[in-house]
Amino acid sequence: MPKILIIEDEEAVRENLLDLLEAEDFETIAAANGRIGVHLAISEVPDLILCDIMMPEIDGYGVLTALRQEPSTATIPFIFLTAKSAKSDFRQGMDMGADDYITKPFTRSELLSAIMNRLEKYATLKRYLSPQIVNNNLSPKMQLLEISLHRAIKQHNFQEFEIYYQPIVDIASGKIVGAESLLRWQSPELGMIYPTEFIPLAESTGLIIPIGKWVLKRVCQQIKSWRDAGINSLIVAVNLSAIEFNQPDFIHNLVNFTSVNNLEPHDLEIELTESMIMQDVNSAIATMSKLQSLGVKIAIDDFGTGYSSLIYLKNLPINTLKIDRYFIHNVAKDSQKSAITKALIQMAHNLNLDVVAEGVETEAELGFLRQHNCNSMQGFLFSRPLPAAEFENCLFTNKCLYV
């Protein structure tokens, strides 16, 4: 994963940033002031720098100036973090060569969005650009990604794509009760490309529609294969983008794929994010109600990172709440995360919802979730996302979580 340097003199802010980024599997380095930050940037050459402006010794502007003059660090994406919100401060930073500017306090989604948008500027191209006409507003790497994505879908008929499955485990019994399907793209030009890179591009180009349709079709075919092999009590979750969810023929396609494969609708669970639903609550509830009336299960993914959640939650036709990995990371030791996670589990149970904890990586995290009656978990403690054959092997060998 990319390496991120955090230059921040406030210890609490610095630790929170480290916590958040490590939970997202970024490699992190931290500096408590600008002087140390410049030294670390030159010696470590990170993929991206987050830097506070107001610091002793060397402020953020001084750090940026020093790094832009050093050949090895001149092009590293640089994001200012600051409580200053005046336009003049913003212009000063951008004029000096900063790539972005985030005003405190910021949300997790704002920070991660800024990071992912800037990381692609620093990636090295693995081959020259095709002379094919591309969107010139994109960086060179994103132009290559767009070309390769078109080819993968239209010329190579999705052969470069593969669906991985991450087990979802019942905490009380230790048994695998479901899986989340996760798309992977192995590009001949660029190697393994993760969804955080290509899904936003697919959404902006409209390619997410054929991709989403292919994923839903393949997942249904895979569930049928498992049913034929005698695996019956397994629910598979599919993530949807807002564009897919709002397609007029989405429900028709879902019904068609399940019926062609002789599946019951409750074999599938559709995962939606809070932000998707909040874009148009009434329309979302109408579509969700249609899905539930068919028997399809619905989960809210990354819960706790959106907005207006508690206001609308009791009105949403859902079955499952998935607690975002940010709250699970180090939950047994972090008193704030502990209080929030306990409240989320209790609230969900009061609404008769199942609770799945995402990103569980340690025995301490699992112990906390077990103590507070969380229903299920997924995460590297039990298993990383697996190709279908490896996941199948877990099922046939009855791999279980230690209870």
Domains present along the chain, CATH in parentheses? 3-122 (3.40.50.2300), 143-396 (3.20.20.450)
Span 356-372, average pLDDT:
96
At 126 the pLDDT is: 26
Does the structure show a pLDDT above 70 at 125? no
pLDDT given at position 147: 85
Instruction: Supply φ then ψ for residue 134, to 5 degrees.
Output: -130, 175
Ramachandran angles phi, psi of 75, nearest 5°: -110, 5
Calculate mean pLDDT across residues 15-44: 92
Q: What is the band of 127 on the pLDDT scale with cuts at 50, 70, 90?
A: very low
Residue 130 has pLDDT above 50, yes or no: no
Choose between 121 and 49: higher pLDDT: 49
- Closest by CA to 180, choosing from 397, 370, 359, 1, is 359
Q: Residue 232 — pLDDT band, cuts 50, 70, 90?
A: confident
pLDDT-derived band at 87 (thresholds 50, 70, 90) equals low
pLDDT above 80 for 74: no
pLDDT value of position 193: 85
Place of tokens 């630790």: 15
Cβ–Cβ < 8 Å for 58, 33 = yes
- Binning pLDDT at 50, 70 and 90, where does residue 304 land? low
- Name, in order, each residue with C-beta under 8 angstroms of 330's C-beta and a sequence gap of 6 or more: 19, 337, 365
Task: Specify the pairing of strand 268-273 against strand 27-31.
Answer: unpaired
| Residues of the chain above pLDDT 90, percent | 57
Least confident of 157-161, 232-236, 277-281: 277-281
Residue count of the chain: 403
Cis peptide before 105 (omega within 30 of 0): yes
Segment 176-200 shows an average pLDDT of 89
Find all residues with CB under 8 Å of 51, minimum gap 6, and list them. 6, 7, 8, 34, 37, 60, 63, 64, 78, 79, 80, 81
DSSP lists the bridge partners of residue 15 as none
pLDDT of 89 reads 64
Mean pLDDT of 70-88: 78
pLDDT at position 310: 66
Measured between alpha carbons, how far is 182 from 193 in angstroms, rounded to an integer? 12
pLDDT > 70? residue 391 = yes
pLDDT value at position 99?
A: 81
Q: What is the pLDDT of residue 73?
A: 83
* Mean pLDDT value across residues 75-101: 77
* d(C-alpha 382, C-alpha 188), whole Å: 31
Written in H, E and C, the secondary structure of 39-75 is HHHHHHCCCEEEEECCCCCCCHHHHHHHHHCCCCCCC
pLDDT: which is higher, 386 or 188: 386
Mean of pLDDT over the chain: 87
Mean of pLDDT values over 71-88? 78
Question: Residues 189-202: what's their mean pLDDT?
Answer: 84
Question: Is the model's pLDDT at 171 over the cut of 90?
Answer: yes
Per DSSP (E only), the strands in 70-187 are: 78-82, 100-103, 161-170, 176-187
Q: What's the pTM value of the predicted model, to 2 decimals?
A: 0.67
What is the arithmetic mean of pLDDT over 91-99?
75
* pLDDT score at 123: 57
